């Protein structure tokens, strides 16, 4: 019997699969929803303890970083230095043609489950529905080469999606935008930065597990240090 099937049949891994829709949620409400494993793409909210990865089911975990305790790794410090020539700006999320073009270039990286458009992740009214949402724009000599979007609660914020031009993949712009969002969270005095979902088993989301001060949700009401996660 595979380890995956054993965990499912033995009840060793909680089974959670829920979805809801909320048009508007106040900042405190967003904090509460994120704190029990919910994610949202626009007004669509969901949480699930399993993820399908091709022909396999993997144990899914929600992740968050304790902002005050976060320290950049050596690799992350190199990424910051490598991108020291970039211009960053933060504005209310209102993606236009430039962001859409960047999205179309970015999605060519995917062989399967290719997303259609940014609205799949942000909804049609990204700022204010369901909550305040910011866009981080990254430019090189005036050219938009990356953009990321994250939602704000009262004491926490949550990463939603990032796009970048694959021509600049050596800059590790996906990681760089996460680091920039974390710095924003620190400056705002936020307690936690929710970095999305990953899986216990190896997956394309493993880069999210390479951050310090990282916690995972055990689907039974507790956040635990990721070091306690059993493979």
Give the model's confidence band at 9: pLDDT under 50 very low, under 70 low, under 90 confident, else very high: very low
C-alpha to C-alpha distances, 98 to 2, 105, 205, nearest whole angstrom: 46, 11, 26
Residues 24-33 have pLDDT tens digits of 999 999 999 9
Tokens representing 178? 């996460």
pLDDT at 231 over 70: no
Q: Where are the alpha helices (DSSP H) in the chain?
A: 3-10, 27-35, 74-82, 97-106, 119-122, 173-188
pLDDT of residue 112: 60
Tell me which residue range forms the domain holding 41: 3-228
Among 50-64, 111-125, 200-214, which range has the highest average pLDDT? 200-214
pLDDT given at position 52:
87
Locate all alpha helices (DSSP H) within 107-172, ordered by sequence: 119-122
Single out the residue of 40, 42, 51 nearest to residue 17, CA to CA: 51
Q: Closest Cα partner for 83 from 162, 150, 140?
A: 140
What pLDDT, in 10s, does the model give residues 164-173? Answer: 999 999 999 9
Confidence check: pLDDT of 151 > 80: yes
pLDDT greater than 70 at residue 7? no
The total domain count for the chain is: 1
Res 123 pLDDT > 60: yes
Query: Mind listing the pLDDT tens digit for each residue in 36-63?
Result: 999 999 999 999 999 988 778 899 999 9
Count the neighbouring beta carbons within 10 Å of the beta carbon of residue 78.
12
Contact (CB, 8 A) for 160 and 181? no
HSE of 116, CA atoms in CB hemisphere, 13 A: 4
Burial level of 91, CB count in 10 A (0-12/13-18/19+)?
A: exposed
Mean pLDDT of the region 127-152: 97
Q: Which residues pair with 115 in a beta bridge?
A: none
Q: Is the pLDDT of residue 228 over 70?
A: yes
How far is residue 199's CA from residue 205's CA, in Å, rounded to a whole number? Answer: 7
CATH code at 11? 3.40.630.30
**3-class DSSP assignment, residue 97:** helix
pLDDT at 6 over 60: no
pTM: 0.93
């Amino acid at each position: 019997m595979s380890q995956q099937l054993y965990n499912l049949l033995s009840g060793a891994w909680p089974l959670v699969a829920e979805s809801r829709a909320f048009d508007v949620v106040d900042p405190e409400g967003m904090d509460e929803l994120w704190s029990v494993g919910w994610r949202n793409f626009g007004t669509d909210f969901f949480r699930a303890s399993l993820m399908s990865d091709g022909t396999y089911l993997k144990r899914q975990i929600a992740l968050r970083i304790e902002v005050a305790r976060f320290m950049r790794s050596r690799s992350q410090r190199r990424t910051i230095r490598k991108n020291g020539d970039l211009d960053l700006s933060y504005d209310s999320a209102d993606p236009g043609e430039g962001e859409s073009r960047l999205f179309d270039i970015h999605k060519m990286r995917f062989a399967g489950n290719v997303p259609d458009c940014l609205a799949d992740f942000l909804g049609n009214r990204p700022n204010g529905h369901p909550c305040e949402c910011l866009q981080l724009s990254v430019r090189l000599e005036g050219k938009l080469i990356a953009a990321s979007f994250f939602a704000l609660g009262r004491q926490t914020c949550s990463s939603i999606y990032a796009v970048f031009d694959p021509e600049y993949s050596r800059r590790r712009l996906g990681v760089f935008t996460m680091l920039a969002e974390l710095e924003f969270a620190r400056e705002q005095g936020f307690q936690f930065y929710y970095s999305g979902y990953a899986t216990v088993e190896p997956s394309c989301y493993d880069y999210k597990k390479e951050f310090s001060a990282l916690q995972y949700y055990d689907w039974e009401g507790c956040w635990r240090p990721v070091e306690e996660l059993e493979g």
